[in-house]
């Protein structure tokens, strides 16, 4: 893909992922009693897919932070945008009513420190929401001959500095930074059936992007053909558990 096509793909992909968690997002914000005037910060906002969702839901005082400056230029007004490191948030303590992230801790260099920073900038009695973090350690791949794909992707993510098992550790992380009113769980995302769909093609594009630095074009082509055959046969299943956590900043 060209750089512009690549940006368009990831922008669409992030919107797709935000769609998976829309109900959870609305539930979490309502459970926290956060009104439309609440000061909300998203760390690792990327192209602003979650911020778009929050705007649609009626929230008005939004701030998005990411280190990817070109991505930030796509985010629509009236959102405040800052290009900065999520491990060193440029805000004083108690600046926000809640802080959210979405597939961010997967990529944070130090997830514990990232959460501590998010906690620091939220007022006492405010909330911290991690709406989606994967656990590739519990990934399901069928048929059996495609199981190595999951192992390869996990290795590729580790090589990129990611934390592919972070979802399974959310509860422990939230406890360790002293949050209360904890609610942790897994999103119900059913294993994808072996039918052709745009979403399944997107899954392959994400996997291929991770594996390009590890596999030759010929090897990637071989795996793509195997996956294509499994989908045609109706035997392809792919599921990566996605976890969430909700916690309150102590008064």
Euclidean distance between CA atoms 34 and 18, whole angstroms: 19
Euclidean distance between CA atoms 108 and 106, whole angstroms: 6
What CATH number belongs to 3-138+161-191+239-248? Answer: 3.40.50.150
Coil, helix or strand for 145?
helix
Report the predicted TM-score, pTM, of the whole model to 2 decimal places: 0.90
- C-alpha distance from residue 196 to each of 18, 138, 202 (Å): 22, 24, 11
Residue 196 has pLDDT above 60, yes or no: no
Q: Where are the domains of the chain?
A: 3-138+161-191+239-248
**Pure H helices in the chain:** 3-20, 22-31, 49-56, 69-72, 111-120, 147-159, 170-176, 198-211, 217-233
Instruction: Please measure the distance between the N-terminal and C-terminal CA atoms of the chain and give it in whole angstroms.
Output: 49
pLDDT in tens, 151-187: 999 999 999 999 999 999 999 999 999 999 999 999 8
160 by Cβ neighbours in 10 Å (0-12 / 13-18 / 19+) ranks as: exposed
Query: CB within 8 A of 5, min separation 6: which ones?
Result: none
Predicted pLDDT at 199: 64
Is residue 118 a contact partner of residue 91, using CB atoms and an 8 Å limit? no
CA-CA-CA-CA dihedral for 163, 51, 66, 123, to nearest 10: -90
pLDDT in tens, 91-106: 999 999 999 999 999 9
Tokens 């602003």 belong to residue: 48
- Scored b (16 or more CB within 10 A) or e, 101-115 reads bbbbbbbbeebeebb
């Amino acid at each position: 893909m060209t750089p512009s096509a690549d940006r368009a793909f990831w922008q669409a992909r992030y919107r797709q992922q935000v769609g998976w968690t829309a109900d959870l997002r609305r539930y979490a914000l309502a459970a926290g009693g956060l009104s439309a005037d609440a000061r909300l910060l998203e760390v690792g906002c990327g192209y602003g897919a979650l911020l778009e969702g929050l705007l649609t839901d009626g929230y008005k005082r939004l701030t998005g932070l990411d280190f990817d400056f070109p991505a930030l230029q796509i985010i629509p007004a009236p959102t405040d945008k800052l290009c900065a490191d999520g491990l060193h948030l440029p805000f004083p303590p108690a600046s926000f009513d809640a802080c959210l992230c979405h597939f961010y801790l997967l990529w944070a260099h130090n997830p514990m420190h990232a959460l501590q920073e998010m906690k620091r900038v939220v007022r006492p009695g405010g909330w911290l929401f991690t709406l989606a973090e994967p656990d590739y350690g519990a990934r399901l791949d069928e048929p059996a001959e495609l199981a190595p794909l999951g192992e390869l992707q996990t290795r590729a993510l580790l090589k990129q500095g990611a934390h592919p098992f972070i979802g399974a550790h959310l509860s422990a992380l939230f406890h360790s930074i002293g949050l209360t009113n904890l609610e942790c769980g897994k999103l119900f995302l059913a294993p994808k059936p072996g039918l052709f769909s745009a979403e399944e093609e997107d899954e392959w594009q994400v996997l291929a992007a991770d594996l390009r630095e590890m596999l030759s074009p010929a090897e990637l082509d071989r795996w793509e053909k195997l996956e294509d055959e499994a989908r045609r046969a109706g035997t392809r299943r792919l599921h990566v558990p996605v976890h969430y956590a909700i916690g309150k900043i102590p008064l």
